[in-house]
Structure 1
């Protein structure tokens, strides 16, 4: 789709975006989008690592028949943003009725 756009059309689209959002908001929006992408990427890596660790722990538990204590989980923020890191409680799987 982008390959079919001519340079004049691309400039027109950029001009409309600048008019809609304002020049002052665009850098802030780009920073926010980048930060969100970094957080999403780090969470995806953490989930993959946790899944691999859970698979290994399950295999070890089955082999040894001894349950292992899980480390507390923490949501990690973007690099350099230590103010938004916080511990996360495990979900309660008990049925209430």
Structure 2
């Protein structure tokens, strides 16, 4: 995958953890998954979800 090995991925994960904090990681992961799902649906010609998340 793009020439990244386990040490490089661990360093990237550590940097993300320091920048965003442990409390925000699930939120970031959920947003990333939702973005991938919307991209997949749009590429297949299906409707995508655009409504913002309510707090």
Report the TM-score when normalising by structure 1.
Answer: 0.40
Q: CA deviation at 1:10?
A: 4.2
- SS of the equivalent of 2:22 reads coil
The higher radius of gyration belongs to 1
Matches of residues 4-19 of structure 1 in structure 2 within 5 Å? 6=7, 10-19=9-18
**Count of aligned residue pairs for this structure pair:** 49
Match of 1:76 in 2: 48
Match of 1:35 in 2: 34
Query: Aligned in 2, Cα 1:15/1:39: closer, same or farther, shift over 3 Å?
Result: same
Higher strand share: 1
Cα RMSD (Å): 2.6
Unaligned runs of 5+ in 2: none
Structure 1's consecutive aligned runs of 4 or more residues displaced over 3 angstroms after TM superposition are: 9-13
Unaligned segments of structure 1, at least 5 residues = 48-74, 78-82, 85-97
TM-score with structure 2 length normalisation? Answer: 0.62
